[in-house]
Amino acid sequence: MENLLLAFLLTLFAGLSTGFGSIFAFFTKKTDLQFLATALSFSAGVMIFISFVELFEEAREELTAYFAGDTGFTVAVAAFFAGVFLIMIVDMLVPERDNPHHALDQEEIESAREKQEVSDSSDIESLRAEDQQELERVGLMSAAAIAIHNFPEGLVTFVATLADPALGITIAIAIALHNIPEGIAVAIPIFYSTGSRLKAVLYSFAAGTAEPAGALLGYFVFREFFDELTFGIIFAFVAGIMVFISIDELLPTANEYGGEGHQEIYAFIGGMAIMAVTLIFVG
């Protein structure tokens, strides 16, 4: 397929944004959590609008054409909620305290940055002696949880790009934005436990590689079956995944990072509006 390379590159970009999150945490003088909150809300608006207006509608059309009747809509609805339940089960399998989608406090991020600037490493060595195993476990569990979540997200980006490159680019950007705080969730405990900024960044990037892995696996599994039925079911399925991710992860995290104003709501609506305008001109 002519869009195959673009689909893989976009999925790789979205996945590696997890590593960019760790760089964002460690290599900036001050972490702008309000920017993160706005970006997450914007991303949620884009993903929810795409899911209901573009992906689900595309699924309904494909499946209606395949089944030539109301059965197509029923199958689309079933596939949508199958996606919701799958990602819900994946989320339930991650212990509450290890879930990387819970926002880190400003103090945690800034404390890690202050420790990396300390010339005398005695504080870090002391921390490693007392809490290294626990903190490293938290970091590794966060990395594993992110890898599990990134797997279906990779399939989302990949399939959407194969069907419509413009849609795939938009989804890739939205997923990349929401991967940034996930990278922070991996990097902070790893840095605390090892004192190594490099190791923290590498773990974050490694967690993001599950995204292109999910895309490749999905392609090799489904490539022989790409027809109206397969595309319709996948579109509805990933629409359900994206809606759940937006409601369960993006919006709550944006609320934790944001202030007392309505910036997150404005960003959410802005994401939907920009996506709507994009679809008008591109579609």
pLDDT of residue 173: 79
Q: Where are the alpha helices (DSSP H) in the chain?
A: 4-26, 33-49, 56-67, 71-92, 106-116, 122-163, 165-194, 197-208, 210-222, 228-245, 251-257, 263-282
Digit-coded pLDDT (tens) for 36-60: 677 778 878 888 888 898 889 888 9
Structure-derived torsion over alpha carbons of residues 165, 168, 169, 174, reported in degrees to the nearest 10 = 170
From the annotation, which residues make up the binding site for Fe(2+)?
A: 150, 153, 179, 182, 211
CA distance 8 to 25: 27
From the annotation, which residues make up the binding site for Zn(2+)?
A: 153, 178, 182
What is the average pLDDT across 195-212?
83
pLDDT of residue 79: 95
Hey, what are 279's tokens? 């679809």
Q: Name the band, by pLDDT with cuts 50, 70 and 90, for residue 157.
A: confident
From the annotation, which residues make up the binding site?
A: 150, 153, 178-179, 182, 211
DSSP 8-class letter at 209: T
CA 24, 29, 35, 37 dihedral sign is positive
- Structural domain boundaries of the chain? 4-282
Hey, what are 216's tokens? 């490749």
Q: Name the band, by pLDDT with cuts 50, 70 and 90, for residue 120.
A: very low
